[in-house]
């Protein structure tokens, strides 16, 4: 018997009680027809044993045999393997045999003695037919599987985004192979722009016998995994957590891709999937105030959620607002940041707290000014809602609170002139250094935006131009000292770039520093 070669050969079994016929048929070059001779049998019973053990696709059998005849063998083989195709070999040109063979869907029957070329041609046609049917079934199955997968993903996405799901769609979900048995967990992750393709490619290559999953990317660089595990696996959540952490490590090492994952609670039916998603999103939401970590499991934090008492700090901030103390407010917001980072609070909870604080602060300002309060401005609410981290949210809150103090200062008896004076004093003391309006505002305890506005109101110039003017005035004084080089004068007045110093000096005085020095020298002669 020849050995089978090639991955796409069709397996055939020859059955005949005559040894000469079996050997003769064995020597036909079946590989030319794309057929692999998987075995031979001398009886029907022996053939059935082989069919039980091997994936036989063509049964080439004699009709007349001592134990069971070929037609009985075909009937039994069809019970074992309904897709098996049969060809009959007979020495009897009997119409009754042919008629019965048709009832068993026998592909063809060949009369003895047979021509090897004829046999090869008939078997070759059958092999080609089987190959075409197999390919068609595979394409059809792949198409059906893809449609089912897409339908399932669409339904899950609707549940994830809280859209209405019809009873028909829920039935589709329940009847899906994915939901027939097992435990389910949802995980929501976030990644950098451009990394979703790397994650999708990685997930497609995963083949873990313990888990199966469906994934999709809703929007804004977020992805969702719905994970199914076998009920027989102990400690499901712990094992899924370990698998997800391993995925994070692999993506980081092999693709330089950093992802954060929030894992939801374990559920046991498709009716609870929305709860699995909700807890996954809640876990993922905690990265807002815990950006230093990349994995959070709902089970580990569920009993600790939203327990931070921010009330006392917020009340202190309102008192500091009445005192118009920028520095103390900044310090209190820093304490609030520490409080949130030391506990587990969702982004929505923190945002609501900051909105309430800003509403109370703005209302307090309106009360002091005897004005009606209509709420926060749309852009202020938008800035709070769009903050993508705790630090960004605190910055936005600080900006709103400092504007509140600015408004109070603008309506009080205290003039802003002392703030301008303090700013000029700061510039006089630090003009040789690398300073900015932010540093000046921090030093004199005012908001940088507010300082910029009152400087513009007082002098009609921005901070940078006021600083440059003071530096140029100092440079003029130093240029009178003939022992100093032009570059030394530049450095001593805060100009680090010698060329830039020359340009701004000429723009202001219509002459270069060297020409100015010559003019001064002539006057002194």
pLDDT tens figures, 443-469 = 887 778 778 888 988 899 999 999 999
Which of 189, 151, 157, 185 has the alpha carbon at shortest distance from 171?
Answer: 151
The pLDDT score that the predictor gives to residue 24 is: 92
User: What integer pLDDT is reported at residue 257 of this predicted model?
Assistant: 87
- Between 370 and 81, whose confidence is greater? 81
pTM of the model as a whole? 0.54
The pLDDT, as a whole number, for residue 31 is 92
Q: Quote the CA–CA distance of 87 and 125 in Å, as a whole number.
A: 12
**Greater pLDDT, 516 or 381:** 516
- Specify the pLDDT at position 127: 93
The pLDDT assigned to 509 comes to: 92
For 281-343, list the strands marked E by DSSP: 295-297
Q: Based on C-alpha coordinates, what's the Rg of the chain?
A: 42
Q: Which of the residue ranges 4-13, 99-108, 211-220, 355-364 has the most confident prediction, judged by mean pLDDT?
A: 355-364
Q: Is the model's pLDDT at 2 over the cut of 70? A: no
In 264-389, alpha helices (H): 273-285, 298-301, 311-322, 326-341, 347-368, 378-385
On the question of pLDDT at 493 being above 80, the answer is yes
Residue 313 binned pLDDT confidence (cut-offs 50, 70, 90): very high
- pLDDT at position 409 is 73
Question: Residues 85, 57: contact at Cβ < 8 Å?
Answer: yes
| Mean pLDDT, range 60-88, rounded to an integer | 91
Residue the block writes with tokens 């949130």: 340
At residue 121 the predicted structure's pLDDT band, cuts being 50, 70 and 90, is: very high
Judged against a pLDDT cut of 50, whether residue 163 lies above it is answered with yes
**pLDDT at residue number 386:** 85
Cα separation of the two ends of the chain:
122
Phi, psi of 310 (to 5 degrees): -90, -5
Q: Which contacts of 167-173 are long-range, i.e. CB under 8 A and separated by 24 or more positions? A: 170/270, 173/270, 173/273
Q: Name the residue with higher pLDDT: 25 or 163.
A: 25
Record: fold of 180-300: Alpha-Beta Plaits (3.30.70)
- Which residue did the predictor score with more confidence, 271 or 198? 198
* Confidence at residue 424, expressed as pLDDT on a 0 to 100 scale: 94
Does pLDDT of 477 surpass 60? yes
Higher pLDDT, 204 or 395: 395
Q: Is the pLDDT of residue 331 over 50?
A: yes
The better pLDDT of the pair 282, 155 is held by: 282
Average pLDDT over residues 187-213: 79
- Whole-number pLDDT of residue 412: 44
Among 103-117, 288-302, 403-417, where is mean pLDDT lowest? 403-417
| Of 12-21, 111-120, 226-235, 307-316, minimum mean pLDDT range | 226-235
Q: How confident is the model at residue 41 (pLDDT cuts 50, 70, 90)?
A: very high
What mean pLDDT comes out for the span 339-355?
92
The CATH architecture of the domain made up of 413-524 is Orthogonal Bundle (1.10)
Task: Give the pLDDT confidence score for residue 457 in this predicted structure.
Answer: 84
Give the per-residue pLDDT at 166.
63
- Give the phi and the psi of residue 474 in degrees, each rounded to 5: -65, -35
Other beta carbons within 10 angstroms of residue 480's beta carbon come to 14
The pLDDT mean for the chain works out to 84
Residue 479: partners with Cβ closer than 8 Å, 6 or more residues away: 486, 489, 513, 516, 517, 520
- Residue 415 has what pLDDT? 52
Nearest to 337 by CA among 398, 281, 381, 379: 398
Q: Is the pLDDT of residue 4 over 60?
A: no
Structure tokens at 125: 């046609």
Query: How confident is the model at residue 234, as a pLDDT?
Result: 73
Q: Which CATH superfamily is domain 10-134 in?
A: Response regulator (3.40.50.2300)
CA–CA separation, 451 and 436 (whole Å)? 12
Mean pLDDT of all residues in 150-159:
71
For position 6, what pLDDT does the model report? 46
Cα(517)–Cα(478) distance, integer angstroms: 10
């Amino acid at each position: 018997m020849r050995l089978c070669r090639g991955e796409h050969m069709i397996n055939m079994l020859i059955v005949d009680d005559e040894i000469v016929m079996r050997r003769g048929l064995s020597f036909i070059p079946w590989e030319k027809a794309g057929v692999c001779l998987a075995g031979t049998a001398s009886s029907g019973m022996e053939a059935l044993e082989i069919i039980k053990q091997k994936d036989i696709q063509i049964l080439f059998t004699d009709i007349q045999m001592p134990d069971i005849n070929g037609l009985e063998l075909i009937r039994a083989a069809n019970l074992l393997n309904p897709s098996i195709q049969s060809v009959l070999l007979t020495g009897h040109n009997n119409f009754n045999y042919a008629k019965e063979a048709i009832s068993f869907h026998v592909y063809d029957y060949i009369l003895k003695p047979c021509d090897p070329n004829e046999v090869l041609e008939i078997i070759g046609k059958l092999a080609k037919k089987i190959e075409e049917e197999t390919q068609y079934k595979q394409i059809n199955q792949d198409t059906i599987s893809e449609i089912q997968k897409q339908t399932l993903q669409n339904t899950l996405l609707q549940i994830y985004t809280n859209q209405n799901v019809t009873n028909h769609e829920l039935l589709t979900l329940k009847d899906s192979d994915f939901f027939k048995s097992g435990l389910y967990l949802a995980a929501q992750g976030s990644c950098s722009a451009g990394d979703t393709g790397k994650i999708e490619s990685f997930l497609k290559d995963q083949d873990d016998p313990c888990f199966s999953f469906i994934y999709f990317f809703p929007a804004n660089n977020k992805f969702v995994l719905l994970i199914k595990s076998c009920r027989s696996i102990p400690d499901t959540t712990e094992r899924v957590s370990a698998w997800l952490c391993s995925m994070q490590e692999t993506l980081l090492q092999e693709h330089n891709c950093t992802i954060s994952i929030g894992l939801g609670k374990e559920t046991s039916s498709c009716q609870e999937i929305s709860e699995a998603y909700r807890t996954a999103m809640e876990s993922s939401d905690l990265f807002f105030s815990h950006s230093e970590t990349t994995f959070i499991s709902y089970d580990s934090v569920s009993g600790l959620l939203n327990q931070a008492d921010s009330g006392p700090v917020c009340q202190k901030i309102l008192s500091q607002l009445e005192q118009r103390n920028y520095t103390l407010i900044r310090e209190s917001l820093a304490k609030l940041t520490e409080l949130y980072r030391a506990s587990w609070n969702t982004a929505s909870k923190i945002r609501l707290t900051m909105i309430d604080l800003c509403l109370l602060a703005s209302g307090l300002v309106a009360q002091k000014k005897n004005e009606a309060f209509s709420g926060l401005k749309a852009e202020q609410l938008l800035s709070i809602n769009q903050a993508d981290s705790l630090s960004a949210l605190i910055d936005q809150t600080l900006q709103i609170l400092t504007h509140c103090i600015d408004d109070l200062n603008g309506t009080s008896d205290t003039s802003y002139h002392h703030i301008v004076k303090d700013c000029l004093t700061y510039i006089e003391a630090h003009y040789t250094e690398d300073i900015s309006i932010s540093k000046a505002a921090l030093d004199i305890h005012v908001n940088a935006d507010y300082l910029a506005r009152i400087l513009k109101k007082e002098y009609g110039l921005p901070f940078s131009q006021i600083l440059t003017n003071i530096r140029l005035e100092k440079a003029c004084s130093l240029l009178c000292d003939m022992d100093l080089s032009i570059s030394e004068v530049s450095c001593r007045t805060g100009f680090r770039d010698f060329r830039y110093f020359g340009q701004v000096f000429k723009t202001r005085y219509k002459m270069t520093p060297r020409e100015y020095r010559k003019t001064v020298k002539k006057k002194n002669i």
